[in-house]
Amino acid sequence: MPISPETSDHLSALGHFGTDPGSLGADTYVPKNLPKGRPLVVVLHGSTQSPESYNIGSGWSALADECGIALLFPEQRKANNPIGSFNWFKLGDSHRGGGEPLSIRQMIKQVVDDHAIDPSRVFITGMSSGGAMTSVMLATYPEVFAGGAIIAGLPYRSATNMMEALVRMNGYGSPSDSQLDALVRGASTFTGPWPTISVWHGDDDTTVDNSNASSIVRQWQKIHKVEGPPTHVEMVDGFPREVWCDADGRVVIEQYIIGNMGHGTPISAGGDDGLGKEGKYMLEVGISSTRHIADFWGLTS
């Protein structure tokens, strides 16, 4: 049975975690008696949301209790952005070694050290501005993450100011495929192995056009050496899942385009495997992105 939100949604503030150049807050959720060497999932909320509201809606802490994983929830402050968006499009907050990305990196190191996390099993996910900041983190600190999941987000460095961000959100003017590839390769000196990528988007999203989902896929295809059409397509909970496999047969990119869904995180709250709670930008569509993302990362077995 799913764990009720009343018993599993309480987050704890993370105190000092470094110089915090991005002036972010941070909360954690760590199941009681978590053994050493367990994974960590970093969860980035969207605009107008808080770590608590995103956690309740997505059900991550219930899954953490079920599977034995630690959670980190970076939090944007209104002083940085009036609607609580991560500043994924600002030059000072989209590069390695400074701003919000360095703050999130410092938080991760603190939680890994505090709870003896397996550093080879750190993952990151986010929705909307949190999804776009997930793209930033995967590009700027790829050595930190085994995988990332971008929900209703945008590619790394597809915009460099607010005006460009609004244009890209509307589906116009995305960088070329070669530019998208070069932006990730230029974000660090990393040469691989690269984090796996999971992309989720609603086909009726009028806030962030779903053309951004295919741009994210294309940004990572050449890096993973899986250019071209998907290796195969399957139906999962009534929705198509496209997957790209590398030469060894490992799935390195997956994409879900959720039919008749607007802007938000897909959830499935009912039934024995239900997670989360329907709410603003937490959309009950009969598929739990949280559970399927965790399964993609090998956290549910």
Tokens, residue 288: 């739990």
Closest CA relative to residue 131, chosen from 146, 102, 151, 145: 151
Query: 175: which DSSP letter?
Result: P
Q: Is 269 helix (H, G, I), strand (E, B) or coil?
A: coil
Q: Which residues contact 134 (CB under 8 A, 6 or more apart)?
A: 44, 124, 125, 126, 148, 149, 150, 153
CB 290, CB 54: distance < 8 Å? no
Alpha-carbon 79 to chain mean position: 23
In whole angstroms, how far apart are CA 133 and each of 30, 80, 104? 23, 14, 10
Candidates 47, 61, 103, 128; catalytic one: 128
**Residue 50 known to be catalytic:** no
Q: Compute the distance between CA of residue 235 and CA of residue 70 in angstroms, rounded to an integer.
A: 30
Q: Compute the distance between CA of residue 130 and CA of residue 47 in angstroms, rounded to an integer.
A: 8
Provide the b/e sequence for 37-52 (b: ≥16 CB within 10 Å).
Answer: ebbbbbbbbbbebbbb
CB 158, CB 212: distance < 8 Å? yes
The tally of CA atoms less than 13 A away on the side-chain side of residue 156 is 30
Q: Which helix (H) or strand (E) holds 55?
A: helix 51-58
Q: Compute the distance between CA of residue 98 and CA of residue 211 in angstroms, rounded to an integer.
A: 29
**Which residue numbers are catalytic?**
128
